Amino acid sequence: MEDLVNKLVAAPAVQDRVESLVLSEIRVEGVNSFLSFPLQKWDLKKLFAVYTKEAACIPAAKISFESRLITTRDLSTIRKKITHVLQPEGAFQLKLSHLAIDTVGSRSCLLRDARPHGAFATLLLFLPSDNHGGDLCVTWDGQSTTCRSQYHSFMAFYNSCEVEVPPITNGSRSVVVYDVIYDNPSAHTRDVPPSLAPLLPLLRAAADVPRQPDSVLAFNLVQQYKALDFTALETPDAQFVAGLVAADCFDVALVHTAKPKAGVGRRDSDDDDEDGGGGRDVTANSRAEFLAMAAAHGVDGLEDDDSSGSNDESDERDESDGVSEGENGASDDGGDDGSEDDDADDTDDDGNESENDSANSANDMFVDHPFMILREEDDIFAGDFDSDFDEFSGDDDEADATEPDPFAGVTGYERVAPEQVSACAFHTSRAPPPVIQAVLLHKPLRAFVNNHPPYMRELSDRPLTYVVFWPRRHRVRLLGFRAAHAHLAALIAGESTELLGYVSVRALAVAVLDLFGTDVAALHDNRDLPDAVSLAPTLLALGDGEILASLVDALDFADFSAAGTQGTVHALVARVGWERLALPLERLLRDRTRHLDDVAHAAALVASLLPLAQPFALEFIKRLFHALLERVAALSEECCFEDVEPGLLQNLLRIERHLDAAPADGYFTARLPPGVARHIDAFVSPARVLALVRAQPITFHAINVLPATVLALRDEMPPALLQPLVEQAMAPTAAADEASGEGYGALLAVGLGIDSFDTTLRRVAALEPWLAIGALQALVTRAGPELSAGVNAAVLDLVLRMVERFLAAATGTSADDLANEMNTVVKAFDAVHGLGHPSRLADVVAGVVRRWHATPAAHHEAFALEYVLPWVTNALPDACDALRPIVALALPVLTARLATQKRPAQPQWALAPLPLPCACAKCAAIAAFVADPMRGSLTLPDADMCMHFHGVVERREPFELVELRYPLDGGIVLFKPAARRIREYDELADGVARIGDILGIDNAAVPPPAKRRRHGTHAM
């Protein structure tokens, strides 16, 4: 689109300033002394003694520069201006023509009648002069451009233009004149600006490309305007608007923008610090994280700096060849002297396409991203133009799957939030409906189709002006998902007749579906997330089978949407049947299952479809089952840390059993010989679930997964089907690496049912004490009341032996060591209590008392805070009396600690509302927490989180005065300021009060508990 935009705004002439023109002295053949500028009267007298006043035109061959006339950077600026504004057909070079001296009453010699072959334009570089008047006027097709011949400026124009050079009225004017010549004059001959007609089909093709990743495209105006008036636009701004209007496929608006207020950063961490604000600052982070932050960020301090090495090299060659010749002077080779010939290999470095590139550029534009988008955060163009374009072209193999990286090459610039639309005026040619116009206000401008103009935008405090536009076929992208969905629902319900320019309600529904997908994720920026589950009832009401099948491609298996996906698929299958949904569902299972938990959700979906009875149901379930097995095999040995493997294996076994048990229900299998049907099944899916389990011993862990699966399925499947899993789990050679106490506990429970408990118990007894205690506690939790007296006694004996061994070996004194030790001891304590032996709880406590006495006194406070206090706080009421020996030792330490603490003053925690994305019950709970002056923290489980809030969190939204942390056990915790210190004080005070109750100490003997008890963690 960059090339297309440049052609739209192509002008017959360009003028600008040159910031660093050097005051160079010039030696002219025939004049004995150097000439400096502005020329003095004696210099003019010397010149005109050699060159007549009627034709003060000094050829290039007779000129030499004492030093460099123009810097490499300014030369590059001139070349880019010629390329981007004049839009020549191909690569070009600058060739020094002559030095023109105009005086009062003389005939101007700026322009010559005879020009070299291939010359299509003329460049004038104005040297320091003292003239008045003589302003040039360049006219083409009724458009006129006037150039005041000021020092530090240049002007370039096509040779076909009409140029009027009035005489100067005072002083003299010195101008260096260059011919702008095509490198390949036989292939490139155009010496006029490009016409609009050939560009209209390209514009329409660009607008018609589906799934464009931006809702609003912005054009950086060359001039700024106070009024939003299209009739006041100057060239080339008016040319750009005229091209968009002529294409008749865009909505066009002129807008003012304002800079948004800076967001307040936050920190997130799993660690705590003294004031509850620990962790790393993520307000400025790596490029990958930055894309997911609170808003798309721009680039401040924009400069047109030439940092490309190749560009500098070629420009240096340009300068040394013509503009600055150093001490060598000019040669005597006539017209070739003083030329500024570029090497053909360097034409791309200067922003000009080579012949082959020019032929392919129009096609390359539309490979993946028809609009060459320059993100606000990457629009620096410090180096090579073509290399920047290639970065966004579709030549890369992964272009179909990933967005172009908007931060490639961006360094040294401050990233700021994008400007937002504060006022707008639509072009009257075909204004969009009012609902579209209203949504443009406050829209951020993130995608630009051309480079920044010369002025420094970030230095301006006044509203800035842009032209914004978007294809009419993508109007719903401007609305966003929620507004577009609401409008579609109103149309289907008959509450509206406004089609927003689409040909039908169906076309609008298709456009809403195009909002889904990672390739267009920039549209919602994780703020207005498309929700396929909420869209499903609306599309079901529309009743279009093809659109309903397309909706399946928009579903996913995220934790917070898996249940909704399952219900949606059920409704779709009931409406349109299996035939139309088979392929979309296979794609869903293959494309949206990147992780093992996704596959587990997919298996649960297929298992839930088993009761549905429809024609071809068995064949289609079989296809989905094969797709599941392929995904599990593709995720070879991926170990998931969310305990989803048992559920996955259970559903796979349920599906396989269903398919095995009802082969005659299949449409095809009922009509084929049994041998042929079995042969086809073996060919389509040669693997069985059991074979997959054996092939992936890490994913389907023999200890952690198989026993839990057997216990879950033993009441719904015949023992013979589960026997292979039991044998694999019970095998002495079963892998014990990464085995958990929960896994061994399930293994013990399995052993109870197959008369191999004693063997399994001996296997557990050989484990590390902490792991054995975890296994025994898990067994008691699963089957405590069901244990026989003999098993109960054996388990009790092993628990007490293991906890004794564990405490005897414990020596740690750090907070983490003591907390981990406490967790293991509490498991043993709970196991003894669950076995129904309250008198033996004292044995566990006695071991802890011995551990207290073995711990140095300097660590007793840590022991009391990290070990005893959490134990007392969470102990069951009927087991607290057994804790008397250890709490009696810890009470003086805790009382002394409490006496040194002063409870922080309770703040008013009612905060301003957070910018929550929706008004669902889950987000309402968050809003209630924010507004509650008495609550300082809120815990949100992962699986019960609103998808829109999750999207905000994924963007690392900087909530003001609310800190987000991510505990190791999952979920998100929201904290208000000072909540941690108050919570710690309350926990200590409440613990001391409870110890006093256990010991029967009068409350007056210990500091009173906190007036406000800590609110329990709240789960939405």
DSSP 858-899: GGHHHHIIIIIHHHHHHS-GGGGGGGHHHHHHHHHHHHHHHH
- What's the confidence (pLDDT) of residue 300? 33
Asked if residue 351 belongs to a domain, the reply is: no
Structural domain contains residue 380: no
User: What's the gap between Cα 462 and its chain centre?
Assistant: 31
pLDDT at 340: 42
The residues that bridge with 468 in the sheet, in sequence order, are 218, 253
Q: Write down the residue that tokens 């587990």 correspond to.
A: 600
Q: Is the CB of residue 741 less than 8 Å from the CB of residue 782?
A: no
* Domain ranges, residue 675: 549-700
C-alpha span between 435 and 596 (Å, rounded): 43
| Residue 656 within a domain | yes
Tell me if 608 is assigned to some domain.
Answer: yes
Query: What is the distance between the alpha carbons of residues 995 and 236, in angstroms, rounded to a whole number?
Result: 82
- pLDDT recorded at residue 411: 31
- Domain-embedded: residue 918: no
Q: Are 122 and 111 in contact (CB under 8 A)?
A: yes
| Distance of alpha carbon 276 from alpha carbon 936, whole angstroms | 11
Q: Which residue has the tokens 């963007």?
A: 955
Q: What pLDDT score does 54 carry?
A: 54
The pLDDT value given to residue 924 = 84
| Closest alpha carbon to 203 in 252, 255, 254, 245 | 245
DSSP for residue 154 = E
User: Is the distance from CB of 426 to CB of 252 less than 8 angstroms?
Assistant: yes
User: DSSP alpha helices (H): ranges in 441-500?
Assistant: 475-479, 481-492
According to the model, what pLDDT value does residue 795 have? 95
User: Beta strand 153-158 with 13-17: parallel, antiparallel or unpaired?
Assistant: antiparallel
∠ Cα 488 491 496 (to 5°): 125
Distances (CA, A) of 385 to 340, 347, 374, 389, 962: 21, 11, 12, 6, 44
- pLDDT for the residue 56: 73
H or E segment to which residue 179 belongs: strand 172-182
User: Would you say 436 and 500 are in contact if contact means Cβ atoms under 8 Å apart?
Assistant: yes
Number of domains the chain contains: 1
3 state SS of 83? helix
pLDDT value of position 585 = 92
Query: How far apart, in whole angstroms, are the C-alpha atoms of residue 895 and residue 1007?
Result: 7
What pLDDT, on a 0 to 100 scale, did the predictor assign at position 525?
66
Tell whether 677 is covered by a domain: yes
**Is 355 inside any structural domain?**
no
Amino acid at 820: N
**What value does the CA radius of gyration of the chain take, rounded to a whole number of Å?**
39
Q: Distance of alpha carbon 1001 from its chain centroid, rounded? A: 59
Please state the length of the chain.
1020
Residue 184 near residue 90, CB atoms below 8 Å: yes
Buried b (16+ CB within 10 A) or exposed e, 88-112: bbbbbbbbbbbbbbbbeebebbbbe
**CA separation for the pair 871, 857 (Å, rounded):** 20
Place of tokens 């496929």: 249
Asked whether residue 798 is assigned to any structural domain, the reply reads no
Predicted confidence at residue 909, as pLDDT, reads: 63
437 CB contacts (<8 Å, ≥6 apart)?
A: 253, 424, 426, 431
Number of CB atoms found within 10 A of residue 226's CB:
10
Task: Give the phi and the psi of residue 568 in degrees, each rounded to 5.
Answer: -65, -45
Q: What is the pTM (predicted TM-score) of this model?
A: 0.69
Which pair of structure tokens corresponds to residue 90? 């191909």
CB 216 within 8 A of CB 445: yes
Which residues, at least 6 apart from 511, have a Cβ–Cβ distance to it below 8 Å? 473, 474, 475, 476, 484, 502
- How confident is the model at residue 1, as a pLDDT? 67
Please give, one letter per residue, the 3-state secondary structure of 104-136: CCCCCCCCCCCCCCCEEEEEEEECCCCCEECCE
Residue 901 region by backbone torsions, left for phi larger than 0, else alpha for psi between -120 and 50, else beta: beta
In 3D space, the residue among 512, 473, 517 whose CA is nearest the CA of residue 491 turns out to be 512
Q: Which residues of the chain have pLDDT under 50?
A: 262-372, 375-415, 454-456, 459, 1004-1020
Separation between Cα atoms, residue 373 and residue 969, nearest integer Å: 41
At 560-581, the pLDDT tens digits run 778 889 999 999 998 888 888 8
Closest CA to 548 of 567, 573, 566: 573
